[in-house]
Structure 1
């Protein structure tokens, strides 16, 4: 757990407060009307009363809170490892709860086959390997349950740099070495997986692919998979 917490904090530049603010302040943009239309079409149909609903890499619990409010006859569960997220956890409704767990090697006491849907939004690129998580999610889901991965995927260096900076800025303006090295280190982390890599890993874990949709001009992907009946 400590190694994972250190790795997450390093990924977020060592600034826990900035990381928490960045993730929480972008929540509404990432969960807009289009997102909920997607959710109602692709994820909601498999939810039955009593099923567990799960968000992995849940931050302070914003999505857990929304799920708990939308589905009062279900329990919404969030899992995170970052202490600076857990310390700012929202006060959740009675049917919402939180667990601290290392998603590089999940050990949460989840009853196999009890979960209808799992969301991993901007989590997988932070994992040095997602195999253990994908195997755990497969075990947790009921037959016909669905897993949604929304994440950054591999892109050319030019596309990455020109998204972060106007093209001449990095060459024509002084930039501290530490800042440059941080940018390139994040390039490696944000380009850890290609969409095809994620599809390969998910299908090897036993899932059937329902959706593989590029997002944000190809910088991200939305993948939905299902545990076979």
Structure 2
């Protein structure tokens, strides 16, 4: 089995074995996750050193919604998306001529993107899915031009109590009707969603040469918005 196939199996397990549902959920929540607040943050913190002709990359592009958005917002840029899950690529969006989706494994990216060619890279809800994100961070560093910025938005470590109380409100956690299968799924996802602390992600990035520009916790500390610069 190839490394890409292993990653595809891993992603499908992470999505509960239901790729179609994962695709639908990601698609339907896109606008909410990329509202005016997000785009203000992106323009102020991530696009700071963008120049016409620079490249833009979305790591974990899904069906290509963010790729499409960036291609329209930055028509002078070459915009890439990297995706591995086949169910995300079954019916890809129609993209402008300055955009394309690349099939690659973010555990060890090999895409043919020129070094020092990108000014913006996004990794949105990707880091927690990777057993090790070092190779992805290293590739981003190589592809970014000096002054280019990487934006990470992701789940970060939280107490088990907070996690389970959101999934099982009231006394549901202890209800007889709560199945072993559901509890096992909850605890497996807890381990994945709590793989890294915000400081862990910052440490990995700065160890590789990045400089922190912005770091803020969102939604009661469950998410981090982190921007670093090459």
1:140-177 residue CA offsets vs partner (Å, 9 max, x unmatched): 00000000000000000000011222132111351111
Q: Is the 1:161–1:167 contact (alpha carbons within 8 Å) kept by the matching residues of 2?
A: no
**In 1: Cα distance, 2:228 partner to 2:182 partner:** 38
Q: Could you say which residue in structure 2 is the equivalent of 1:197? A: 200
Q: Confirm whether residue 14 of structure 1 aligns to residue 17 of structure 2.
A: yes
Q: Could you say which residue in structure 2 is the equivalent of 1:79? A: 82
**In 1: Cα distance, 2:91 partner to 2:207 partner:** 36
1:55-90 residue CA offsets vs partner (Å, 9 max, x unmatched): 000000000000000011111110010011111210
Q: Could you say which residue in structure 2 is the equivalent of 1:130? A: 133
Q: Mapping of 1:158-169 within 5 angstroms?
A: 158-169=161-172
- The range that moved more, 44-53 or 135-144, is 44-53
**In 1: Cα distance, 2:129 partner to 2:92 partner:** 20
**In 2: Cα distance, 1:163 partner to 1:53 partner:** 36
Q: Confirm whether residue 188 of structure 1 aligns to residue 175 of structure 2.
A: no
Q: Could you say which residue in structure 2 is the equivalent of 1:109? A: 112
| Equivalent position to 2:214, from 194, 202, 211 | 211
Q: Confirm whether residue 65 of structure 1 aligns to residue 88 of structure 2.
A: no
RMSD: 0.8
Structure 1 unaligned residues grouped into runs of 5+: none
Q: Could you say which residue in structure 1 is the equivalent of 2:145? A: 142
**In 1: Cα distance, 2:175 partner to 2:185 partner:** 18
TM-score (norm 1): 0.97
Q: What is the number of equivalent residue pairs in this alignment?
A: 227
- The range that moved more, 185-194 or 170-179, is 170-179
